[in-house]
Amino acid sequence: MAQTSTTDLTAPEVPPIAIGNGGEWHQSATADQPTLTTNQGLPIADNQNSLRANPKGPTLLEDFILREKITHFDHERIPERIVHARGTGAHGFFELTHSLANYTIAKVLTEVGVQTPLFTRISTVAGGSGSADTPRDVRGFAVKFYTKEGNWDLVGNNIPVFFIQDAIKFPDLIHAVKMEPDRGFPQAATAHDTFWDFISLTPEAMHMVMWIMSDRTLPRSLRMIEGFGVHSFRLINANGESTFVKFHWRPKLGLQSMLWDEAVKIAGADADFHRRDLFEAISAGDFPEWDFAVQLFTQAQADTFPFDHLDATKLIPEELVPLQVIGRMMLNRWPDNFFAETEQVAFCPSHVVPGIDFSNDPLLQGRLFSYLDTQLSRLGSANFHQIPVNAPQCPFANHQRDGHMQMAQPTGRVAYEPNTLAADSPHEQPALGFHSAEVGETGAKGRIRAESFADHYSQARQFYLSQSAYEQAHLASALVFELSKVEHPHIRVAMVGHLRHINENLAIRVASGLGIKELPPAPLVAMAVQDLELSPALQLIGKMKATLEGRAVAILIADGSDAASIVAVKKAVTAAGAKVKMVAAKIGNAILADGSVLPVDSQLAGTPSVLFDAVAVILSEEAATLLGKEAAAIDFVRDAFGHLKAIAVDKGGAALLKLAGTQQDAGVIAIDILGSFVTAAKTRQWGREAGVRGLA
Res 97: pLDDT: 98
* Secondary structure element (H or E) that encloses residue 594, with its range: none
Q: Is pLDDT of 13 > 70?
A: no
What residue ranges do the domains of the chain occupy?
Answer: 69-386, 548-692
Residue 72 annotated in active site: no
Of 84, 456, 498, 501, which one is the catalytic site residue? Answer: 84
Question: Tens digit of pLDDT for each residue in 286-335?
Answer: 999 999 999 999 999 999 999 999 999 999 999 999 999 999 999 999 99
Residue 398 annotated in active site: no
Nearest to 528 by CA among 508, 505, 501, 498: 501
Bridge-partner residues for 556, per DSSP? 583, 617
Instruction: Give dist(CA 240, CA 136) in Å, integer.
Output: 43
* Helix axes of 631-642 and 651-659: crossing angle, nearest 10 degrees: 90
Rg from Cα positions in the chain: 27
CATH number at 69-386 = 2.40.180.10
Question: Tens digit of pLDDT for each residue in 368-424?
Answer: 999 999 998 889 888 889 999 999 999 888 888 888 888 888 889 998 888 899 988
Q: What is the mean pLDDT of the chain?
A: 93
Full DSSP string of 205-254: GHHHHHHHTSGGGSBS-GGG--EE--S-EEEE-TTS-EEEEEEEEEETT-
Which whole number is the average pLDDT over 451-474? 97
Architecture of 548-692 per CATH? Answer: 3-Layer(aba) Sandwich (3.40)
Q: Can the peptide bond before residue 43 be classed as cis, meaning omega within 30 degrees of 0?
A: no
* Secondary structure element (H or E) that encloses residue 84, with its range: none
7: number of Cβ within 10 Å = 7
Q: Where are the alpha helices (DSSP H) in 256-391?
A: 260-269, 273-283, 299-302, 338, 362-378
Question: Tens digit of pLDDT for each residue in 484-505?
Answer: 999 999 999 999 999 999 999 9
Instruction: For the chain, give the percent of residues with pLDDT over 70.
Output: 95
Taking the CA atoms of 543, 548, 552 and 557 in sequence, report the sign of the dihedral they define. positive
Same fold, 69-386 and 548-692: no
Cα dist. 51→41, 362, 496, 660 in Å?
19, 9, 33, 63
Of 49, 151, 157, 383, which one is the catalytic site residue? Answer: 157
